[in-house]
Amino acid sequence: MSPEVLALDGELRRLALGGIRGGWEEVAAQAVQEQWTYPEFLAALVRLEWEHRSEGRLARLVKQAGFPFLKTIEEFDFRFQTTITRPQLGRYLGPELISGSRNLILWGPPGVGKTALCIALAYKALQHGAQVRFVTCTELIQQLTAAQRAGTWERVLKQALTPDVLIIDEVGYLGYGPDAASVLFPVIHQRYLRGNLPVLLTTNKNPRQWGRSCTTRSSRGPWWIGCCTTGRS
């Protein structure tokens, strides 16, 4: 490596331009071969850095989301889960999930792809720059109940209110204590008051049988109930 290249590598490292640092030589070779102008070469370097930073930001958002696994909408097999089609999901796959406050309930028996589909939708939201949090219903109740006892309620509640999209997985799979409703209600209510921030729920219980109060609160925003009854993902 020549002294000039060593010096350039050091400057790029100090400027934290990791994308350019890792790929400028390949871009430079292509520029020479195709006889690019200086602005074209510079634009290519800028794109390289932008792509590098976008990939890094997406990786950080995925880690922060706490997904138990990663599934994309392209990987979800609609040939096996035929009760929901990709066209049905429509704007849940775009930035309108956030801007349109599009909440979602997916219900059906275990093993039919509800969680995988919610994660795939949330990953799309991450690609549009949103922040996501994944938590099971049992975990969320336990965290909020413990926070009440410890006097850290506001801090723990904020963790459920801050993300642009909140996934609450496995609602109704287990029995909950008498305080469950009182700690879950503020989460849904406060997210609604903050602009009806999207909530994606998975459940094995038919939401239409949850009771009058659930139906009333759900109707305050654009909820869509999807049924996953057969197939696998």
DSSP character string of 167-228: EEEEETSS---TTHHHHHHHHHHHHHHTT---EEEEESS-GGGS-HHHHHHHTTS-EEEEE-
Residue 4 or 60, more confident: 60
- The pTM of the full predicted model, rounded to 2 decimals, is 0.78
Alpha helices in 66-206 (DSSP H): 86-89, 96-99, 114-127, 137-150, 153-161, 180-193
Confidence at residue 3, expressed as pLDDT on a 0 to 100 scale: 87
Residue 127 has pLDDT above 70, yes or no: yes
Residue 10 has pLDDT above 50, yes or no: yes
Residue 213 has pLDDT above 70, yes or no: no
- Average pLDDT (105-134) is 93
- The pLDDT tens digits for 56-111 are 999 999 999 999 999 999 999 888 888 888 998 988 998 988 988 889 999 888 88
| pLDDT bucket at 231, cuts 50 / 70 / 90 | low
Kind and range of the H or E element at 133? strand 132-136
Residue 230 has pLDDT above 90, yes or no: no
Tokens standing for residue 113: 């792809």
Confidence at residue 214, expressed as pLDDT on a 0 to 100 scale: 38
Confidence at residue 229, expressed as pLDDT on a 0 to 100 scale: 64
Confidence at residue 80, expressed as pLDDT on a 0 to 100 scale: 82
Pair 213, 125: CB distance under 8 Å:
no
Collapsing DSSP to helix, strand or coil, 232 comes out as: coil
**Parallel/antiparallel/unpaired status of strands 103-107 and 199-203:** parallel
CB atoms within 10 A of CB 230: 13
Cα dist. 70→36, 64, 73, 119, 195 in Å? 39, 13, 10, 7, 27
- The pLDDT tens digits for 153-191 are 999 999 999 999 999 999 886 677 777 888 999 999 999
Domains and CATH numbers, the chain: 3-65 (no CATH), 86-227 (3.40.50.300)
Query: What's the one-letter identity of residue 147?
Result: A
